[in-house]
Each structure stands twice: as C-alpha cells, then as structure tokens.
Structure 1
Amino acid sequence: MKRLSRMFPGRRESISDARAFARAFVVGRSSDDLADTAELVVSELCTNAVEHTASGEEGGQFVLELEVHDGCVRVGVIDFGAQTEPAVNDGEPCDAVTGRGLFIVEAVSKAWGSEPLRVGRRVWADVVGASM
C-alpha cells in the first residue's frame, strides 16, 4: 500500500495542482483508466472543499490524501468544515451547470462517504479499475 498527502491553499487555482499531484502519484501504480477516474474524483472533491466549505475562505486550506492498494485508489479530501454535510443533489436538472460533483463521484466510485473530524471533515471515495 502506498500513501501520500499534501496540503493546498483553499483557492480555485489549487484544484489543477491537486489533480497534477494525484496523477503523478497514481500513474505507474495503477492502470491509466484508474488514474483518469481518480483525477476526476480529486477534481470534484477539491472543488467542493473550495466552493462549499470554510477551506475556500481567506487563509483556508485543504488536504488531499491518496492511497493506492490492490487495484483501488482511495481519494480523501480534508476541509475546514461547513454548516451542512455533503450530499448528492439527485433533484438537479440534467442541464445544471453546478451541483453535480458528488453525483459524478458516486457514479464513478465503488463507495464514497464523509466523516467529521475534530476540525473539519474528510470526504473520501474509493475508485477501482474497470475489471473490479
């Protein structure tokens, strides 16, 4: 099992850095399709941290956690917390421009969830290869 984590500033510009960090870690440790899917999940979870939690406020940060084992990538994002818990917006119209992040994460992940921490919340997703 290989693990790696990194803290990023809670700004939109950090999301592309988080994707690149994830890709560099996952490529070579898993299949290309798994790396692509993990990168998508990283993008969605980091965007949610910046857009919907205190991590996106002045001085905010988020932590990206990656773990690769047995054909699975666990993506975790720790944020500074929000007033509400993460939830899939099932009722959004198909042409919605925003609000689809966790819907996408749920669709491409084997499992996902969130847990409160002493400070903030961890949102995680397990991404597996096509053969899983």
Structure 2
Amino acid sequence: MSAPERTGHGAMVAVIRRWDGLRIVGQRDFRGVAQSAGAARRWVVELLGGHAPAELLETVELLVSEVVTNAVLHSDSAGPEGLVTVCVGLGRDLIHVEVIDDGSAVNVPEVRATDGESLSGRGLGWVNLLASVWGSSQDEGGGAVWFQLANDHASGPGSHLSN
C-alpha cells in the first residue's frame, strides 16, 4: 500500500513529505454520507487498537469523526458518486490520519470562531486543540485534511501546516 493518491500532481510532493517515515496501516474509502463518520471512526479505532493507549484512541476517534463529517458536509464528496478516503499511518512516536475528499470550489478548511450557543462549526477547532500538528491541502483533484497525534504526548497541540 502506498501513500494516498487522490490528489493532483501539484500536491503530490506535499503528500510524499507528510508520509515520509510513516508505515501505512490502512486505507479505506467511505461513501459521502453522514453515517460514514461513525463507520470511519470505528474502523480507525479497530485498526489502531494494539498501537495506542485507550486515552489516545478516544482522541483519534473524536478527530476522525469531526474530519470525516466535515468532508461529507463541506465538499463535493456528498454527491451521488462521492467518496471520502481515510488513510492511517504510524510513525515512530505518532499516529497520522489523513481524510481525502472530492474537493470543493467554495469551501476551504478553516478553524471557525464559535460561540457557546453554536451547534456546529467546532470540528477543526477540536483538531486544532487536540492534534500535535495538522494541516490541509486542496487542488484540482480534491482536498485533504490530516492530523498527527504523538503517542508520547511530547508535541504541543494546535500546530497547523498548509500543504
């Protein structure tokens, strides 16, 4: 299995850099429907069950759910033929998750300010708060949001990288 390939040529260098030194443990396509968030998080937790402590798996579960939900709600993956691809990798002391969607002409992933009353708009806020590092990329082939979590919790949360 190789690094995810659902991006255009322009983003491939960034994808290769992100996956350098990682062992890919799983890649799976999910339909672009709301129920896919639950299916994706269950799949990722099962995949990583022997590779991370329970507390870290809870964080992975939350972030996968948020990022897949965003991909379904805010990209062209919600179309009749839409797909969301989830890729999981392990590094020496980290977990890497990448969610690839069909892209969007109008939506770019961003952390939005929310008030205490808002019922939506918190997905990337959680990613920014809990991930050691995260980023996004978008080109003509689609979009990707990825995050990494340190197994040793040594890295500080909230680092964002584009491409």
Same topology, TM > 0.5: yes
The answer to whether structure 1 residue 121 and structure 2 residue 140 are counterparts is no
TM-score by length of 2: 0.75
* Aligned amino acid, residue 51 of structure 1: L
* In structure 1, C-alpha distance between the alignment counterparts of 2:153 and 2:88, rounded to whole Å: 21
Matched, 1:84 2:107: yes
Point out the more displaced range, 121-130 or 70-79.
121-130
Residue 58 (structure 1) aligns with: 80
Q: Secondary structure at the match of 1:5?
A: strand
* Superposition CA RMSD, Å: 1.4
Match of 1:67 in 2: 89
Report the more deviating stretch, 69-78 or 41-50. 69-78
Distance in 2, Cα, partners of 1:67 & 1:19 = 15
**Aligned residue in 1 for 2:10:** none
One-letter amino acid of the counterpart of residue 79, structure 1: D
Q: What runs of 5+ residues in structure 2 fail to find an aligned partner?
A: 1-21, 155-163
Matched letter for residue 56 of structure 1: A
Q: Is contact 1:41–1:75 with CA below 8 Å preserved after alignment? A: no
CA contact (8 A) 1:76 1:125 kept: yes
CA contact (8 A) 1:30 1:71 kept: no
Deviations 1:26-83 (A, max 9, x none): 1101221121111111101000000110001222111001112223111100000112
Q: Kindly indicate whether residue 96 of structure 2 is the aligned counterpart of residue 97 of structure 1.
A: no
Q: Which consecutive aligned stretches of 4+ in structure 1 deviate over 4 angstroms post-superposition? A: none
Q: Which residue of 1 is the match for residue 14 of structure 2?
A: none
Counting aligned pairs with the same residue, the percent is 30
The answer to whether the Cα contact below 8 Å between 1:33 and 1:130 also exists between their aligned partners in 2 is: no
2:49 to 3, 6, 27: 27
Q: How far is the alpha carbon of 1:6 from its aligned partner? A: 0.4
